[in-house]
Structure 1
Amino acid sequence: MQTRWVNWRPMRRGDTVTKMPVQPDGTPASSTDPATWTDYETAEQLHAGVGMGFVLGGGFACLDLDHCYDARNHLADWAKKLIMLAGDTFIEISPSGDGLHIWGLCEPRKGIKLRDGMNIEAYSQGRYITVTGKPYKTSKRKLADITVLMNLAEHDAFGRLFNDM
């Protein structure tokens, strides 16, 4: 059983609202301090915040696709292509409802933010990602190796790749 779970609650920082990780007792958690994490059952039962989160690392990674749906609830082309490349790994709908999380396995590496016509963040350590458990379409509840996706993100190659597709 993985003890990499936290809860989260909204927190205002200036003009934005962020998702602050919290421990089962409601005190702040840290994405880099395992002493502040818990197991799935505890995080699910105590509801210290408004949702649950999973701390990345230990081989676990996630690509966070923000705002990838338009006003008509159509998925952006760049997100469709990423989903095709992701293969058979768990993809869920984010808490906002207008984003997706592509979960998988990958060795730890530096986090990445891509904003050139896309809104992608890719992490495999030192971060936590909120979890809804709401699968995207027929996504399977298994984790595949997403190293290729992380490599493409790291080299900012999605734009070049998608233009060739």
Structure 2
Amino acid sequence: MPVPCEMVLADRWMRWKRVTRGDGTTKQPLTADGRPASSTDPSTWTALEQAENSPIGDGLGFALGEGFACIDLDHCYDNRGYLTDWAKMLIAPVTDRTYIEISPSGDGLHIWGTAPQQTGIRIRNTLGMNIEAYTQNRYMTYTGRTFRGSPAKLADLTFLLTVIPKLA
């Protein structure tokens, strides 16, 4: 699995499992031994190797913060399976510079990188944009399903984090 070196060395890993709540599903964070985990409690995180070797749940998760950031593009493929124009615009500045992966659903992307801590961003608009961006107090699922051969390295996402709120 292609994991950027900075993330391999960070003991910020956990597991997650899909949980049904009401009419939808969510991804509950878990420790490698199956206890509830928290995106804000380092005592519930572990090293990548331990998280990878755990059979608990449905996959890996990573706690954001201390410079680690992720932009989540949900439902960014059109009905033909092509990347939407808004998603192409967002990944263009960082393509070939940072790790981008396909989300667990298969119809979204995670843009991994670095950025100073700031308040989370959530955009839903009439153009179909469904974007979330976080730099702290959240965890993101990690699939290792590389998008179009993106590199196993992290770029600075500060520019994108200033552009995204203007899309609302």
CA shift digits 1:90-112 (9 cap, x unpaired): 11000100000000000111011
User: Partners of 1:93 and 1:47 in 2: how far apart?
Assistant: 21
Partner of 2:76: 68
Deviation of 1:12 (Å): 1.3
Greater length-normalized contact order (CA 8 Å, ≥ 6 residues apart): 2
User: Which of 88, 104, 121 is the aligned partner of 2:132?
Assistant: 121
Partner of 2:5: none
Query: Does residue 111 of the first structure (1) align with residue 114 of the second (2)?
Result: no
User: Partners of 1:79 and 1:86 in 2: how far apart?
Assistant: 12
Question: What 5-or-longer segments of structure 1 have no aligned partner?
Answer: 160-165
Instruction: Figure out how many residues of one structure are paired with residues of the other and give that number.
Output: 157
User: Which of 120, 136, 139 is the aligned partner of 2:147?
Assistant: 136
Question: What 5-or-longer segments of structure 2 have no aligned partner?
Answer: 1-8
User: Partners of 1:37 and 1:138 in 2: how far apart?
Assistant: 28
Question: What percent of counterpart residues are identical?
Answer: 55
Give the residue type in structure 2 aligned to 1:18: T
Q: Given the two structures, how large is their TM-score scaled by the length of structure 2?
A: 0.90
SS across alignment from 1:86: coil
Q: Given the two structures, how large is their TM-score scaled by the length of structure 1?
A: 0.92
Partner of 2:100: 91
Give the residue type in structure 1 aligned to 2:142: V
User: Partners of 2:46 and 2:57 in 1: how far apart?
Assistant: 14
Whether the 8 Å CA contact 2:29–2:61 is kept in 1: the answer is yes
User: What RMSD over aligned residues (CA atoms) do the two structures have, in Å?
Assistant: 1.0
| Structure 1 moving runs of 4+ over 2 Å | none
Partner of 1:100: 109
User: Partners of 1:38 and 1:48 in 2: how far apart?
Assistant: 13
